[in-house]
Chains A and B, each alone.
Chain A
Amino acid sequence: MTLREILQYSLWFLLYLVLQILILRSIVLFDYAFCFVYIAGILLLPAEVNRTLLLILGFLTGLLVDVFYNTLGMHAAAAVLIAYLRPFWIQIQLETKGTTERLEISMTELGIGGYLTYLLPLVFIHHAALFLIEMSHFGMIGYTLLRIVASTLFTTFLITVIQLFSKR
């Protein structure tokens, strides 16, 4: 990674966090669809990023969001989980595609289909972990599952829209 790229990714990271903390904290659609767009900062980093660095980034991002949400530890746990699973998922994707080593993860590189198949499962895992940890009693399981699905769609949609605006 060049210095210019590092700066670029850092700025995106900051933008996602500011968006999450200032605006999306108070946006919920129909009581079900939440938006945790900040994970895009971790998921859309280039494929060659060091795993240890990813884990640290994931943890710190989750922790920062936790402080603003009064849920110390929950976002951190979910973000670390996807930061850990991400490299494996990329590997599987590359093998099925049979392509050579790729650097960037973006719409232009992967195409819409590949981009969504990369993003959706990871967003789903993150949201599932988060909502299941937060669930206060087991009677809410159906309600929680609905929330997970709705929020996954909402978050993925928003990440995609932001991606479309950022012509890299």
Chain B
Amino acid sequence: MFQLVEFFSRNRNFIFFVLLEVFSFWLIVQNNSYWSATYFNTSNYYVAKVLTVSNSIREYAHLREINENLAQENLKLNSLVARLQEQNPVNAPAGYKPDSVFASRFEFIVSKVIMSETSRPNNYITIDKGSAEGIRPGMGVISATGVVGKVKLCSEHYSVVTSILHSQFMVSSRLVRSGEIGPVRWLSKDPTVISMMDVSRYKKVIRGDSAVTSNFNSVFPPGIMVGTVRKVTIRPDQTFYDIDLNVATDFASLSYVYVVQNNLQPEQEALQKPLDEERR
């Protein structure tokens, strides 16, 4: 007994070290529990306040680009309004009349980015709107230039968004000219390049073609820019192309984003749930 006590007192630092390491790794592994999601990340009120200060300095340097993006967006919206006035649903057959609730299912909440990163294997963005403004985890986030990501956590006035530059994030996309659909994900390397998978090598894919969000998303409205095709390669033993896309969103000058609220998402999920359970 005495020897045991002596052993512990002699090795107390080693034991303490192991305990701290175990605790750290436990934090890394679980990382989604309620208390860590509430306090220990950048949606924490005080942390976000500090980041806002440091971001306001960064913003001055990017004002020109931000204005440019907003002007671009105005242009895009104006042309969209004009197109919608001319013809109701695009590329639909003659008899198709969209349900008015379905057509107006998306609402947008404007929000400001207070922290954005692109250089790490898994990147997050912090925005200054939270559950008080109706943002919930799982909502999509877009910007003037393209897809940004998906809301991961919310505090009352701030949210953390999983960026498209995250190893776990996938978005279903469609190539505009060839009409091919496939998931897009990031391989944690170059922050300007993302990869599109599952596009059959027997279809024609053109360099410079745009990839937009497909109709299979319940999170993003269809037709939001994801990227443009940069490089198409074929490996002889593969049935799919390796397609590299240039990321549409410029994360360096990202300043204002739109959180997408899909009012019909709960209904859609409830409808699809039995199917998922059946497959299991």
- A residues within 8 Å of B by Cβ? 21-23, 25-26, 28, 31, 34, 51-52, 55, 59, 62-63, 66-68, 70-74, 76-77, 80-81, 84, 133-137, 139-140, 143
A26-B58, A52-B12, A72-B40 given; A137·B27 CB < 8 A: no
Q: Are B13 and A73 in contact (CB under 8 A)?
A: no
Say whether B51 faces chain A, with CB atoms less than 8 Å apart.
yes
CA of A122 to CA of B43, assembled, Å:
32
Q: Are B31 and A72 in contact (CB under 8 A)?
A: yes
What number of B residues sit within 8 Å (CB to CB) of A?
40
Q: Which of chain B's residues have a CB closer than 8 A to the CB of A135?
A: 121, 188
CA of A74 to CA of B120, assembled, Å:
13
Q: Which of chain A's residues have a CB closer than 8 A to the CB of B41?
A: 67, 70, 72
Q: Which of chain A's residues have a CB closer than 8 A to the CB of B44?
A: 67
Q: Which of chain A's residues have a CB closer than 8 A to the CB of B92?
A: none
Q: Are A67 and B26 in contact (CB under 8 A)?
A: no
A31-B190, A59-B20, A72-B27 given; A67·B42 CB < 8 A: yes
Beta-carbon nearest neighbor of A18 in chain B: B50
Question: How near does chain B come to A110, taking the closest CB pair, in angstroms?
Answer: 24
Q: Which of chain B's residues have a CB closer than 8 A to the CB of A134?
A: 120-122
Q: Are B47 and A136 in contact (CB under 8 A)?
A: no
- B residues within 8 Å of A by Cβ? 12-14, 16-17, 20-21, 23-29, 31, 36, 40-42, 44, 47, 50-51, 53-54, 58, 117, 119-122, 124, 126, 160, 167, 187-191
CA of A84 to CA of B14, assembled, Å:
8
Q: Are B167 and A62 in contact (CB under 8 A)?
A: no
A68-B42, A70-B42 given; A55·B28 CB < 8 A: no
Question: How near does chain B come to A25, taking the closest CB pair, in angstroms?
Answer: 8
Say what secondary structure dominates the interface of chain A: helix
Q: Are A72 and B28 in contact (CB under 8 A)?
A: yes
Q: Which of chain A's residues have a CB closer than 8 A to the CB of B25?
A: 73, 77
Q: Which of chain B's residues have a CB closer than 8 A to the CB of A80?
A: 17, 20-21, 24
Q: Are B42 and A137 in contact (CB under 8 A)?
A: no
Q: Which of chain A's residues have a CB closer than 8 A to the CB of B23?
A: 76
Q: Which of chain A's residues have a CB closer than 8 A to the CB of B58?
A: 26
Beta-carbon nearest neighbor of B166 in chain A: A136
Give the residue of B16, B126, B167 whose beta carbon is less than 8 angstroms from that of A55: B16
Give the residue of B27, B51, B121 whose beta carbon is less than 8 angstroms from that of A73: B27
Q: Are B21 and A143 in contact (CB under 8 A)?
A: no
Question: How near does chain A come to B54, taking the closest CB pair, in angstroms?
Answer: 5
CA of A133 to CA of B191, assembled, Å:
20
Q: Are B167 and A136 in contact (CB under 8 A)?
A: yes
Q: Which of chain B's residues have a CB closer than 8 A to the CB of A51?
A: 13
Q: Are A73 and B122 in contact (CB under 8 A)?
A: no
CA of A4 to CA of B147, assembled, Å:
53
Q: Which of chain A's residues have a CB closer than 8 A to the CB of B50?
A: 21-22, 68
Q: Are A143 and B189 in contact (CB under 8 A)?
A: yes
CA of A85 to CA of B228, assembled, Å:
48
Beta-carbon nearest neighbor of B24 in chain A: A77
CA of A76 to CA of B160, assembled, Å:
21
A68-B51, A74-B28, A77-B25 given; A137·B40 CB < 8 A: no
CA of A68 to CA of B160, assembled, Å:
12
CA of A77 to CA of B47, assembled, Å:
21
Q: Which of chain A's residues have a CB closer than 8 A to the CB of B126?
A: 70
CA of A72 to CA of B51, assembled, Å:
17
